[in-house]
Structure 1
Amino acid sequence: MILEVLQLVPHPDTPAKAVPSVLCSLSWQDAGHWVAGFIVGAPSEALALPTPTRPARTDGLWQRTCFELFLRDPESGAYLEFNFSPSGEWAAYRFDGYRAGMRPLELADPWITSTDRDQFNAGMGAHLAALGLDPASIGTLLSTPMPEIPGAPAAPAQYVLNAHLEDPALGAAKTWQLGISAVIEEADGTKSYWALAHPEGKPDFHADACFALEMAMSR
């Protein structure tokens, strides 16, 4: 298991108001098994989050709060794009080059959970159903509030979304160039665009500058 914790930075032309930071924790066991965790340094009440719904492949998620992962082959320039929404919806695309040849990427459904309890329940239920289990079997557990621990520190004021990707289609053992980004919409409508790095000009998560991390994957 390899783990990286990465700091995203806002685009200078789109500063945030209520969000001081966005982090991504990235871990993987092999080239086909990833977990991306996005940590927004503000409580969910400060954000405009889409309503939790049944997980499904959906286009246009980037128009609201959305978290994104890009994987690029440094030899061919072809890349993959993954979108994860706080609603539990997701999208995955394949590109031949910079914004060229966009088409759906066939992929096993990601498992998305977040600190929003309704979304967590929906995501967990869908994951159990995909495993052939009955979501109702843990319904009581999911609806039971966590007990308070006397003297324990208060929970940090942050919103967290985790996306689990497990599919051999993610590629064979190789070196990938990674782009990690987020669109954050705040409760007052302010939008900020976050990435590992930004190109000059307007925000563009597909730009070469955004592929700021290189990692070698193994089976």
Structure 2
Amino acid sequence: MTAQSYQLQPFPDATGLPAIQISGTVARSANNQLTIDYKLEGAVNQIQLPSPNPEPLRRWELWETTCFELFIGCPETLNYWEFNFSPNGNWNAFALENYRKGIREESQIEQVNTIARNDSAGFQLETTIPLEPIVPADQSIELSITAVIETQEKNISFWATKHCSPEADFHQRNSFTIQL
């Protein structure tokens, strides 16, 4: 298993930021499963966290409120995938042909497994994604881990392992800095 830790940073000009930290680990197993763990610590009570959905659904526009995201690309290719994970368990996966072009729901990913915990230590979301339908096990991948955070006061901030643009833009391929 290959694993890496990460720490997200808010976009530099963010205002109304809550006193939180977002970190975690991402790991790729020998059976080509990707597991990503998001840990939100600090003033979690200031964050909009939708109530758990007992039967999580595939949904569009999850990024309009608090949403954890993952971008996956393969070296020297233009296409990439975007995954969105709501704290309530809803999710979606998209395939893109190039920078923000040709977006479509990725039909080869039929389900992700997500576990959410919210307790005195903070909020944690762990998601496992089957990579085999989209990326062979012997293919290296490049990742960008991101989050959209909405406060109770409706302030939105954008968090990423690396910001590479004068505007918050998670689709910049030079921000896919984690390699597995």
Would you say how many aligned residue pairs link Structure 1 and Structure 2?
177
Partner of residue 126, structure 2: 162
Counterpart residue type for residue 29 of structure 1: S
1:102/1:31 Cα in 2 relative to 1: closer, same or farther (>3 Å)? farther
The 8 Å contact of residues 8 and 22 in structure 1, kept in 2 or not, is answered as yes
**What's the TM-score, normalizing by structure 1?**
0.75
Structure 2 unaligned spans of 5+? none
Partner of residue 8, structure 1: 8
The 8 Å contact of residues 18 and 43 in structure 2, kept in 1 or not, is answered as no
For 1:43 and 1:13, locate their aligned partners in 2 and report how far apart those are by CA, in whole Å.
20
Counterpart residue type for residue 46 of structure 1: Q
Q: Are 1:59 and 2:57 counterparts?
A: no
Partner of residue 35, structure 1: 35
The alpha carbon displacement at 1:100 in A equals 1.0
Structure 1 unaligned spans of 5+? 118-154
For 2:130 and 2:140, locate their aligned partners in 1 and report how far apart those are by CA, in whole Å.
18
Counterpart residue type for residue 2 of structure 2: I
The alpha carbon displacement at 1:15 in A equals 4.3
1:170/1:24 Cα in 2 relative to 1: closer, same or farther (>3 Å)? farther
For 2:18 and 2:69, locate their aligned partners in 1 and report how far apart those are by CA, in whole Å.
20
Q: Are 1:113 and 2:115 counterparts?
A: yes
Counterpart residue type for residue 141 of structure 2: W
Give 1 or 2: higher strand fraction.
2
Counterpart residue type for residue 117 of structure 2: T
Q: Are 1:182 and 2:151 counterparts?
A: no
Alpha-carbon RMSD:
1.8
The alpha carbon displacement at 1:17 in A equals 2.7
Partner of residue 171, structure 1: 135
The 8 Å contact of residues 42 and 159 in structure 1, kept in 2 or not, is answered as no
- Percent of residue pairs bearing the same amino acid type: 28
Partner of residue 26, structure 2: 26
**What's the TM-score, normalizing by structure 2?**
0.90
